[in-house]
Chain A
Amino acid sequence: MKLSRLNQISLAVLLLLALVPMQSFVYDLFMMKVFCFAIFAASLNLLLGFTGLLSFGHAAFFGTGAYVCAHAMKEWGVTPEIGVLLGFFASIALGYVFGALAIRRQGIYFAMITLALAQVVYFIATQVPFTKGEDGIQGVPRGVFLGIFDLSPSTSMYYFALAVFALAFFFIQRIVHSPFGQVLKSIRENEPRAISLGYNVDRYKLIAFTLSAGLAGLGGALKSLVLQLASLGDVFWHTSGEAVLMTILGGIGTFWGPIAGAAVIVNLQNYLANLGGWSTIATGFIFVVCVLAFRRGIVGEIAHRFKVTL
């Protein structure tokens, strides 16, 4: 079976990632965090890069996924794959509601409505008892995958996270390369044309938004297992902003962009955190440089240079 160039590279990367627990240079918890945020960034990428819609409120889905999964794991004692799926579907449902409200607006108004809706979710999260407010849901058990594999040890959790990440990645690939994905691309490139061709553009956008929301929730659910915690920070608007940054930095419209962006930002926060305000300054600096000079993002620039799809 001849694999496309993209798939060859993807397999190589996944293989490399599978080797991480066997060395001690890269810390596996760090890598797991990257997976969660990569899925989150990828969900935004699907919306922005492939459909042309910018959402400022995606943290609402990330957080919903995290809270639902955490609650299910802790209070109902489900297995991790069920927990993650519950988080995914909860975000799909929320995404459908948000999408239905926001879709008919354009550009900045769309972004602002998503932000406003996310702020409402944040407020609800502070009030509703099951989220445990400021403390968050702590001590989330990692559970026993399929009733067989205990995910408490780091290595087992790592492979679970890697598998979820790989699945999400391939899911997005399938969407983009499907006829549905082609219509999304045409909407991004020339919406009036797509309408004139008879496509129900709003419906396509809504489906894309809902899928994107579900994926963001998937990232959040995974995160609640990795860090064993779901907190208000997950639904705060700064988190939405961070995800946008990761997507832009990695490269809008690329496949591997989100993980590259996530890896850089998570790494940056890790290393610069001890230096006080430098983390914010560096993040801002990256934003500025990216927008002025590297609009294609890291992976985008590489793809452009070597003339491949990444």
Chain B
Amino acid sequence: MFELLGITPQALTSQVLIGLINGSFYALLSLGLAVIFGLLNVINFTHGAQYMLGAMFTWIGLTQLGGWLDMPEFQLNYFVALLVAPLLVGLLSIVLEKTMLKRLYHLDHLYGLLLTFGLALILEGLFRHWFGVLGNSYPVPEVLEGGLRVSGLFLPYYRLWVVALALIVCFATWYFIERTKLGSLLRAGTENPRLLQALGVNVPLIITLTYGAGCALAAFAGVMAAPVYQVTAVMGSNLIIVVFAVVVIGGMGSIAGAIVTGLGLGVVEGLTKVFYPQASSVSIFVIMILVLLVKPAGLFGRTR
């Protein structure tokens, strides 16, 4: 078997596969951010913290809730958490939007960014204070344990489940926004809110719900992440700039851009881990610089 730069084709395929798996996760995580920026023009820096909340609520539901409610046997399992955690985070985010974010819409983007950054710090600090920094382990749900052996590589079922679910949710979100009537209503609301309001549509409500939905998507990614990554208060801040990079490279208005870039980036990162592993963390930023030099609004972006 020939070797490409010291790597067998077999090993290369496994790395690309792993890259796609990670990429689908990036795509899911950046989806919410792309939705919020694309439709609301808000740069939601709280995204990482909302992702963390999703994971934290999942862990709490499984291990702590019983203790708090004095019902030791009570547990919210993973699949329930997949629905409940995003809902909770979505509601919490709606409260944040209605009380604080709303007041900044008429100002420069900068203020929304700073506000959400401050909120992220508060959330992260609180959870760090309550639950410490080392975090906790969340088990893979039993029905998804184990994996399959594909040419020397062990692919956990759970990771395959993540890919499948991520791609479904990504496609569904894209379809909803780009192809349905409700989606076009949302898009119209961003482009010309006054006109839409004049036509009788409750634009503020739509904006609030959209923000809530975008944040719920972040939390959804968090629930999916809990069995794989350690559930800690800082798990979001480690990922947030990567997620931002994905959205910016994809083009900040574009849902499809975020999805494609997320996947692509996963693969690029995976390949970097093979050929120049020390640079795997910075590879995404190098790509961002290169892309923005050639296409100032990102790959699929529309210049506003």
Contact = CB atoms under 8 A, between A and B. Distances in A.
Given A119-B285, A287-B114, A107 B129 contact: no
Contacts of B244: 112, 115
A288 B109 contact: no
B100 A292 contact: yes
A6 interface: no
Contacts of A106: 296
Interface in B95-147: 100, 103-104, 109-111, 113-115, 117-126, 128-129
Given A127-B278, A292-B115, A278 B125 contact: yes
Contacts of A120: 282, 285-286, 289
B243 to A, nearest CB: 12
B127 to A, nearest CB: 8
B252 interface: yes
Contacts of A105: 292, 296
Given A108-B252, A112-B245, A120-B282, A281 B129 contact: yes
A282 B122 CA distance: 7
A276 B127 CA distance: 11
A115 B110 contact: no
Contact of B279 (A123, A237, A286): A123
Contact of B119 (A108, A115, A116, A284): A284
B185 interface: no
Main SS class of interface, B: helix
B122 A284 contact: yes
B117 A113 contact: no
Interface string B261-304: 00000000000000000110110011011001100111000000
Contacts of B289: 101, 113, 116-117, 120
A109 B109 contact: no
A182 interface: no
Main SS class of interface, A: helix
Contacts of A279: 125
B60 to A, nearest CB: 17
B248 interface: yes
A291 B128 contact: no
Contact of A285 (B111, B118, B252, B297): B118
Contacts of B245: 112, 116
Interface in A242-282: 244, 248, 276-282
Contact of A113 (B128, B252, B282, B288): B288
Interface string A284-305: 1111101110010000000000
B292 A113 contact: yes
B43 interface: yes
A115 B292 CA distance: 12
B241 interface: yes
A113 B245 CA distance: 9
Contact of B122 (A241, A281, A295): A281
Given A113-B289, A123-B279, A291-B104, A281 B125 contact: yes
Given A108-B43, A119-B282, A280-B124, A287 B288 contact: no
Given A101-B289, A115-B285, 11 more contacts: A106-B296, A108-B252, A109-B297, A113-B292, A123-B279, A278-B129, A284-B117, A284-B119, A287-B114, A287-B117, A291-B104
30 contacts: A104-B296, A107-B109, A108-B113, A112-B292, A115-B241, A115-B244, A116-B286, A117-B289, A119-B241, A119-B282, A276-B128, A276-B129, A277-B126, A280-B124, A281-B125, A283-B121, A283-B125, A284-B117, A284-B118, A284-B122, A284-B125, A285-B118, A287-B117, A288-B118, A288-B119, A291-B114, A291-B118, A292-B100, A292-B115, A295-B111
Interface of B: 43, 100, 103-104, 109-111, 113-115, 117-126, 128-129, 233, 241, 244-245, 248, 252, 278-279, 281-282, 285-286, 288-289, 292-293, 296-298
